[in-house]
Each structure stands twice: as structure tokens, then as C-alpha cells.
């Protein structure tokens, strides 16, 4: 039997390798050995994802590796999620996420969703081609900390501004942080439309949400 610290390190290591089966097996092993679910999360899974994020930033990892690691993260999360809930360990925060109206591109948004979930956030994914009316309705229903908007077309990125203006009009802007991203979106555009943050990639999206929530 491996020592607890050793199992946690192995979970991180296998997650970095993107080996979902081993991550799941080691997570089960850790729980069987009565290692706290919060330690599995923080010292195993999140510690591995942290390395993945750093390697992505240094161009040592690319999107496929990040996606595979996020999938491995999910396989471990599925095992510990009920235990975290039972221990009343709260998610870091809640994020409502979508691709805006008129835009069907959802691959990048889905990666952002996986990465945020992997980083410990509750995600309400509204899908693609989502109107401001639906966004407002869902914000009222779910009371998230952050709204994430994705757009891949120069013709749809303007809709992000419309969403922020609609939030303003509905008096919801003060209670929520807005981050935006997608290939044509820039930091300058984000400032122009008064978003709170911009992520050029999924790893930066997580950094932005952490920053905005003071984590
Ligand atoms: Co479309 N498409 N497409 N397309 N498509 C692009 C975007 C395009 C650049 C191709 C080109 O012409 N070179 C071009 C846009 C031109 C422009 O506006 N400047 C284009 C076009 C024109 C179109 C159509 C209009 C084509 C047509 O029908 N004539 C049409 C529009 C449909 C619509 O949306 N209404 C269309 C359709 C499609 C498909 C449906 C076939 C398919 C989408 C399938 C799907 O998503 N389910 C598709 C695809 C696949 C692409 C390309 C090839 C790839 C996009 C992608 O998934 N990239 C794309 C060309 C390209 O980018 N090379 C193209 C991979 C993904 C991981 O990256 O989405 O950038 P990305 O996400 C990154 C970051 O941007 C960031 O993190 C992600 C991960 O690092 N990010 C965020 C994304 N969202 C974020 C949110 C955040 C933070 C970060 O915070 C909330």
C-alpha cells in the first residue's frame, strides 16, 4: 500500500500524463485509504492541473494535452464529487458560460468549461447561440459569480457588448463579473465594452476567474 502523500503525487502525475483510468483508480485507492476528499482535490487533482496550466503557458503543452488532462481531472472529480458535497466543501464559485447569439462555435467554450470545472468551479453551460434574454433569465435563476461569454466570429463578438448593456439595464451588472474570450476577441475590445476580464485561452480564463474572485 502506498503512503497517502505518494498516492496524491501519483494522482497529479497521472493527470499531467492525461491517464484518466489511472487517475480514477488512484482516486478510488486514496478514498479507500481514508484520505480526505479535499486533499485528493487540492493536493492531487488541482496540483496536477496547476502543472498542466503552467506547461501550457510555456508552450510545452498544447490544446490536445490540456483537453486530455481535463478529461483525466473529470474522471477523478466524478469519484470525489459526492464526498465533497457530503462534507459540504463548497465549489470555489459558480460560472454561467455560453457562446453568444448567432455563433455556433462551441469547441473553445467547452474547453474553458472543462478547465473551470477542473479548477473547482460549478459550471452552468448554456450552450451556443444564446440570446441575452436567456442569459439574463439564467443569471437570475442561478445567481452565478461570473458570466463567461465566447464568440468566434467578428460578426458575433459585438453581441457581447449587447449582453453587458442588457445586464446594466436589468441592474444585474454590479453583482456579476463578466469575462470574454474567443479567437477574434482582444484585451482592448474587452476594455472597450467594459468586461471585467479577457482570456486568450482556457488556462487564462481560469486565471481571470480566480483573479476576479480574489482566489
Ligand atoms: Co467556423 N469560422 N464558421 N466553424 N471555424 C472560424 C472561426 C473562422 C476563423 C474560419 C476562417 O475563415 N478562417 C471563420 C471566422 C472568420 C471571422 O469571423 N473572423 C469562421 C466562419 C466564417 C464560419 C462560418 C460563417 C462559415 C460559413 O458557414 N460560411 C460558420 C458560422 C456558423 C455560426 O457560428 N453561425 C462557421 C461554422 C463552423 C462549424 C460549425 C463548421 C465549426 C464549429 C463547430 C463547433 O464549434 N461545434 C467551425 C470551426 C470548427 C471553425 C474553426 C476551423 C475552428 C474553431 C475552433 O474550434 N478552434 C475556425 C478557424 C480557426 O480558428 N482556425 C473557424 C479550436 C478552439 C479550441 O479554439 O475556439 O479559439 P477557440 O477557443 C480558444 C480560445 O479562443 C479561448 O480558449 C479556447 C481554448 O484555448 N476561448 C475563450 C474561447 N472562448 C473563450 C471564452 C473565455 C475565455 C477564453 O471566457 C469566457
All domains of the chain in start order, with CATH: 4-86 (1.10.1240.10), 94-212 (3.40.50.280)
Distance 146 CA to ligand 1 centre (A): 23
Q: Does the pLDDT value for residue 144 go beyond 70?
A: yes
Distance 112 CA to ligand 1 centre (A): 14
The residues lining ligand 1, judged by C-beta closer than 6 Å to any ligand atom, are 63, 102-109, 111-112, 148-150, 152-155, 179-184, 199, 201-202, 205
Atom 38 of ligand 1, residue of closest alpha carbon: 105
pLDDT digits (tens, 9 = 90+) for 87-113: 767 778 999 999 999 999 998 898 898
Q: Identify which of 37, 19, 142 has the alpha carbon closest to the alpha carbon of residue 87.
A: 37
- pLDDT for the residue numbered 88: 67
**The whole model's pTM is what?**
0.85
Atom 66 of ligand 1, residue of closest alpha carbon: 108
Amino acid at each position: 500500500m502506498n503512503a497517502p502523500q505518494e498516492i496524491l503525487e501519483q494522482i497529479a502525475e497521472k493527470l499531467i500524463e492525461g491517464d484518466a483510468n489511472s487517475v480514477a483508480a488512484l482516486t478510488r485507492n486514496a478514498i479507500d485509504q481514508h484520505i480526505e476528499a479535499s486533499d485528493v482535490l487540492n493536493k492531487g487533482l488541482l496540483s496536477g492541473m496547476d502543472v498542466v496550466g503552467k506547461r501550457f503557458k510555456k508552450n510545452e503543452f498544447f490544446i490536445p494535452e490540456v483537453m486530455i488532462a481535463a478529461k483525466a481531472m473529470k474522471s477523478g472529480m466524478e469519484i470525489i464529487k459526492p464526498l465533497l458535497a457530503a462534507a459540504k466543501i463548497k465549489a470555489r464559485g459558480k460560472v454561467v458560460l455560453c457562446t453568444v447569439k448567432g455563433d455556433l462555435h462551441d469547441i473553445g467554450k467547452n474547453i474553458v468549461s472543462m478547465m473551470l470545472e477542473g479548477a473547482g468551479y460549478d459550471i452552468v453551460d448554456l450552450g451556443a447561440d444564446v440570446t441575452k434574454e436567456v442569459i439574463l433569465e439564467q443569471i437570475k435563476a442561478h445567481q452565478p459569480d461570473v458570466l463567461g461569454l465566447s464568440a468566434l466570429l467578428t460578426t458575433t463578438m459585438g453581441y457581447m457588448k449587447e449582453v453587458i448593456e442588457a445586464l446594466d439595464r436589468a441592474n444585474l451588472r454590479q453583482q456579476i463579473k463578466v469575462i470574454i474570450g474567443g479567437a477574434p476577441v482582444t484585451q482592448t475590445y474587452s476594455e472597450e465594452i467594459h468586461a471585467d476580464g479577457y482570456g486568450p485561452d482556457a488556462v487564462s480564463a481560469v486565471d481571470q476567474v480566480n483573479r476576479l474572485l480574489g482566489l
